[in-house]
Amino acid sequence: MSERYPHLKVDDPEVYDLIQRQAKQESTTLKMIASESYASIDVLEACGSIFTNKYCEGYPGARYYEGNEVTDALENLAIERGKTLFGCEHMNVQPYSGSPANAAVYRALLNPGDKVMGVPVSDGGHLTHGWKVSFSGKDYVQVPYRPNQETGRLNMDEVREIALRERPKMIWVGMSAYPFKLDYAAFAEIAQEVEAYLVADIAHINALIIAGVHPDPVPYCDVISSTSHKMLRGPRAGFIMSKVEDRYHAKYHENSKWNLAQLVDRGVFPTMQGGPHMHAVAAMATAFKFAQTEEFKNYGKQIVKNAQALCEELEALGRPIAGGGTETHLLLLDFRKNDFTGKDASQALAKCGIIANFNMVPGDTRSPSKTSGVRLGTPSLTSAGMKEGDMKKVAEWIDRVCANINNIDEVAPTIRAEIAEFCSGFKFPGIDE
C-alpha cells in the first residue's frame, strides 16, 4: 500500500495518512452499504492518470479545444465498450456522477413544470426522481408512486392507475432501496399507454443486469441512466444510454431538430456540464472491459446469492426482513417490532465493524431521521470474495449486535476484533494488491 503513493507520502503526509486510515477501515470492517463496492486496481490507476489534466469540452470529433486526438480515442473506446456491454444504441459517458446524469435526462426530455412519476425518497426512491428538496422536485412536479406498504412490492395495477390519472411526461423506474426485480416490460406498456418517456435508473443494479440475474431495461426504455461506481466497481461517475430515435418527437419535440441521442448528449453538454472528467472516462472504459468478463458475471450472480443467503440466515435467527426476502443485492432489516430504531441499530453495527445505513421500511411509522430499518448490501463483501457460508457468520454478528444493543459498548470491542480477524482472511481489491 505505502508503495502506491510514494510521492504523496513525502509531500503531503496528512492526506497520505488519511488514505491509509480509510484503507484500514475498508479492509478490517464489513462494508455493507448497498451502493458501495471496491473499485478495481485498474480503475484506481486509470482514475489517477494524467487524463485529469485535459480539457475537451464537446464530443469526439467536435471539441472546443485543440489537442484532443487521444481523448477522442479514449472517449470512443469507453462508448464502444459500454455499448457492447449493455447492447444499447447510444451511450454518453460524460456525466460527472449519477445525479448530474439524471439532471441531464430532465433537461433533454422535459420542460420545467412537467410531471414526472417517481418513487419518493422515503419509499426507496432517489432524490433526483422528483423529491422536494432536490432540483428535480423544485423544477418539475413529482407524481409519486410507491411499493405496497404491506408487501414491500410495487403493484403494477396501481402504477398504471396513477399514470392514467396523472399523465406524466416521464416515468422513472429504478430505486435505491428496493430488494425486488423490476418489471420493465410492464412499465413500458404503461408508459406507452400514457405516451410518457420511460427512463430506467440502474445505478444500484447494473451489475445484476450484466450478469443476467435481473431483467434488462434496454429493450424497453427510451433512456437509461447509471452510475459507474457502486456495484459496477468503476470510477465515481455516471453514464446515460438511449435509443437513437425520439418516439415522441412529434408530440413533445416537434420544433427540435434533434433525435433522442442528440437530445441526451445536449442535455449533458452544454446544458448541464462543461469539460468532461477524462480520468473518470478512462477508468470507466477499463471498468466496462472488466464487466464484459465471465469473472464479473459470476460476481454479479454471487452478489444475489449472498444477499439471499444472508436473508435466510437472519430470518432463521428471528430477524425479520422487509418484504420477506430479496431478489437483488440488498435487504432491509425490519425493526418495526423492536424498541430500538434503525438509527440505533446502524450505529451499534458500525461500532462493531459492520458499516451500513438506517433506512425506512414499508409501513414504517418512525420518522426518516430514526427509521425502523437498516439497509444491507452484499456487493462489497462479494468483491472481497465472500460466499454463502460467510454470510452465516455475518448474520450471526448482526444478530449479536441487535441482541446486545443496550450494552453495545461492552460487546463492541470483541465483535470488532472478531470481524477484523475474519476480514484478514480476504483480499480487498485496490487495497491488498
Ligand X SMILES: *Cc1c(COP(=O)(O)O)cnc(C)c1O
Report, as residue numbers or ranges, the catalytic residues: 55, 57, 201, 227, 230, 236
Q: Can you tell me which of 204, 266, 277, 319 binds ligand X, judged by CB under 6 A?
A: 204
Torsion, CA 67, CA 68, CA 73, CA 74, rounded to 10: 120
By beta-carbon proximity to ligand X, the closer residue of 126 and 146 is 126
Q: Which is nearer to ligand X, 27 or 35 (CB)?
A: 35
Q: Considering only 66-74, 196-204, 282-290, 368-376, which stretch makes contact with ligand X by CB under 6 A?
A: 196-204
Task: State the sign of the Cα–Cα–Cα–Cα dihedral 70, 76, 79, 83.
Answer: negative
**Least distance (Å) between residue 1 CB and ligand X:** 26
**DSSP codes joined into one string, 178-220:** --S---HHHHHHHHHHHT-EEEEE-TTTHHHHHHTSS---TTT
Distance CA 190, CA 393 (A): 43
Concatenate the DSSP letters of all residues of 19-35 into one string: HHHHHHHHHHSEE--TT
Shortest Å, Cβ 12 to ligand X: 26
CA 23 to chain centre: 21
Question: Do the beta carbons of residue 425 and residue 384 sit within 8 Å?
Answer: no
* Cβ-based nearer residue to ligand X, 81 or 126: 126
In the bound state with ligand X, the residue whose beta carbon lies nearer, of 63 and 107, is: 107
Calpha distance 237→284 (Å, rounded): 8
Nearest distance from C-beta of residue 222 to ligand X, angstroms: 17
Contact 281, 190 (CB under 8 A): no
Q: Confirm or reject binding of residue 128 to ligand X (CB under 6 A).
A: yes
The full DSSP string for 303-354 is HHHHHHHHHHHHHHTT--BGGG--SSSEEEEE-TTSSS-HHHHHHHHHHTTE
Q: Which stretch binds ligand X (CB under 6 A): 107-115, 168-176, 251-259, 279-287?
A: 168-176
**Residues whose CB falls within 8 Å of the CB of residue 180, separated by 6 or more in sequence, listed in order:** 152, 153, 154, 323, 326, 327, 328
The residue among 68 and 176 lying less far from ligand X, judged by its C-beta, is 176
Residue 326: name the closest of 340, 306, 342 by CA. 306
Among 174, 267, 353, 430, binds ligand X (CB under 6 A): 174
Between β-strands 30-31 and 354-355, what pairing exists: parallel, antiparallel or unpaired? parallel
Our CB check for ligand X shows the closer of 309 and 322 to be 322
For residue 231, which of 303, 333, 139, 132 has the smallest C-alpha distance?
Answer: 303
| Nearest distance in Å: CB 63, ligand X | 25
Q: Which residue number, 58 or 323, has a Cβ lying nearer to ligand X?
A: 323
Our CB check for ligand X shows the closer of 126 and 375 to be 126
- Least Å from the CB of residue 131 to ligand X: 11
Q: Segment 222-281, which members bind ligand X (CB under 6 A)?
A: 227
Taking residue 408's Cβ as centre, other Cβ atoms within 10 Å add up to 18
Query: Site for ligand X (CB under 6 A): which residue of 36, 42, 123, 201?
Result: 201
- Of 46-54, 198-206, 241-249, 344-352, which part binds ligand X (CB under 6 A)? 198-206
Query: Which grid cell sits at 392?
Result: 452465516
The 86-125 contact track toward ligand X, x by CB under 6 A, reads: -----------xxx--x-----------------------
Size, binding site for ligand X by CB under 6 A: 14
Q: Which CB sits closer to ligand X, 237 or 304? A: 237
Closest CA to 136 of 221, 225, 215: 225
Q: Determine if 126 is a binding residue for ligand X (CB under 6 A).
A: yes
Q: Judged by CB under 6 A, which stretch of 23-31, 151-159, 172-180, 268-276 contacts ligand X? A: 172-180
At its nearest, how many Å lie between ligand X and the CB of residue 128?
6
CB of 43 to ligand X, least distance (A): 15
* Whole-angstrom distance, CA of residue 382 vs CA of residue 302: 7
Q: For ligand X, which stretch binds (CB under 6 A), given 8-16, 64-72, 170-178, 413-421? A: 170-178
**Pairing relation of β-strands 58-59 and 62-63?**
antiparallel
Q: Does 203 bind ligand X (CB under 6 A)?
A: yes
**Cβ 228 to ligand X shortest distance, Å:** 9
Stretch that binds ligand X, among 16-24, 199-207, 209-217, 333-341 (CB under 6 A): 199-207
In the shown chain, the binding pattern of residues 2 to 41 toward ligand X, with x for contact by CB under 6 A and - for none, equals ---------------------------------x------
Taking phi over 0 as left and psi of -120 to 50 as alpha, with beta for the rest, 230 belongs to left
* Residues near ligand X, by CB under 6 A: 35, 97-99, 102, 126, 128, 174-176, 201, 203-204, 227
